[in-house]
Chains A and B, each alone.
Chain A
Amino acid sequence: MGLTSRMGELERAVMDRLWSVDDWATVREVHDALAADRDLAYTTVMTVLDRLARKDLVARERDGRAYRYRARASRGEMTAELLRETLDDFAEHDRRSALVAFVGDAPADDLAALREALAELGEG
């Protein structure tokens, strides 16, 4: 596994943890939760949280001598934002082929024709 994909995997694990806590968490708390099922250094968790904070995915506040972190937005909110952003990108670039979608958008009057075609396919 390359360095970037390990970093990606850790970022994901840390975000998962913060989402499930749904509150402020210290580096120690995140590290303890993640180190339960993997070999992980405390400083690595610190680095990952720092990266996430710089990407503005987590908020950071001082708590005595340490920092505490929490996810900036819920998983659902972040997903919605991601999709909105992606669709803007694609609308702008007219690059539909970047993602190959299962179905496109069907205008309402096409749905009737669509159901008819489905009916003709028969039951089974």
Chain B
Amino acid sequence: MTAFTLAILAVLLAGPVPEAMAGRAALRRTPWATMLLWQGVALAAVLSALGAGLALVTDRAWRGEPDAVGLTVAAVALLVTGLVSVRLLLSGHRVGTSLRSLRRRHRRQVDLVAREERGVAVLEYDAPLAYCLPGLAKARVVVSRGALGRLDTDEVAAVIAHERAHLRARHDLVLEAFSVLHQAFPRWVSSRAALAEVGLLVEVLADRAAVRSVGARPLARALVALADREAPEAMLGAGGSALTERVRLLADTDPHPLQGALVGLAGVGVVVLPTAFVAVPWLAGLAGA
């Protein structure tokens, strides 16, 4: 029974739930709480999937006198659970090491060619570029000369505040976690939608931080100024249509406390409730058996 409940939960949290959450504009008005919800759903999905496998194992092989069929089912369940765990760990390892080595190499190169101005690394490059290079101790905000040329002082401050917010909040770690999930299970679950939506949410969060320090107007102007280009350097960020959404969200300054509280609570609940009502009784039952 426990295995069945957890399996249903895992399937729901891996497919329909993220599917329903992605692209829902209202949720982006409370980016912090929604980010918590995404992380809760992802964590709960992984835990339920692993829990379902293990519950099936204990269900068939733990209690009473297991027969041959029961033992076979248990063995297969254990194998599948093990494979899923290994796949997750491997994906985590691969994504982590490749990200870190790419960043390290890029950082060394940037440090060699960039000039430091106003605490950011300025690249002599005509196309407008602005990004951050996350890292524990050696984080950098990188801006191209082309970007500086297109922005006034307030707009530059907005861009820098936005990038610093990414670095401070370690948004890269959240993106990394969702990349790991996506790499591990690209087809089974709606992980691409999750990754895209979480990518947008970290931008919205960084935008809000920038608005707090310089105001919405310079930030919006900077977004538009830097988007307007014919550049080969796509790839470095969220898709273009997300930009319009970000500028629209800047107009919404209401904190939406009720929605924030409910969504945040849902994010915590989705992890805590299955643990309390399914996993704990199951484990307690095992201990008592």
**Which residues in window 220-252 of B have CB below 8 A to A?**
220-224, 226-228, 231-244, 247-248, 250-251
A42 to B287, alpha carbons, bound, how many Å? Answer: 72
Q: Decide: B113 and A117 in contact? CB cutoff 8 A.
A: no
Query: Chain A: interface secondary structure?
Result: helix
Query: Chain B: interface secondary structure?
Result: helix
A82 to B112, alpha carbons, bound, how many Å? Answer: 10
Q: Mark A56-90, 1 if CB is under 8 A from B, else 0.
A: 01000000000000000001101110110011011
Q: Decide: B130 and A79 in contact? CB cutoff 8 A.
A: no
Across-interface contacts of B124 in A (CB, < 8 A): 75-76, 79
Q: Decide: A57 and B112 in contact? CB cutoff 8 A.
A: yes
A21 → chain B closest CB, angstroms? 16
Q: Decide: A75 and B113 in contact? CB cutoff 8 A.
A: yes
Q: Decide: A97 and B99 in contact? CB cutoff 8 A.
A: yes
A94 to B236, alpha carbons, bound, how many Å? Answer: 10
| B153 contacts partner chain A, Cβ-Cβ < 8 Å | no
A69 → chain B closest CB, angstroms? 15
**A-B complex: 9 closest residue pairs judged by Cβ atoms:** A101-B237, A106-B240, A97-B175, A105-B234, A102-B130, A101-B236, A104-B237, A106-B227, A117-B247
Spell out B's residues near A (CB within 8 Å): 95, 98-99, 102-103, 106, 108-114, 123-125, 129-134, 159, 162-163, 166, 171-172, 175-176, 179, 199, 202, 216-217, 220-224, 226-228, 231-244, 247-248, 250-251
Q: A11-B112, A87-B232 are in contact. List 9 more A-B contacts (CB 8 A).
A: A87-B233, A95-B98, A98-B106, A100-B172, A100-B237, A104-B242, A106-B241, A114-B244, A124-B217
28 A–B contact pairs at CB < 8 A? A15-B113, A75-B124, A76-B125, A79-B123, A83-B123, A83-B129, A86-B102, A87-B236, A96-B175, A96-B199, A96-B236, A97-B179, A99-B133, A101-B237, A102-B223, A102-B237, A103-B223, A103-B237, A103-B238, A105-B234, A105-B235, A114-B223, A114-B224, A114-B243, A114-B247, A117-B248, A121-B220, A121-B250
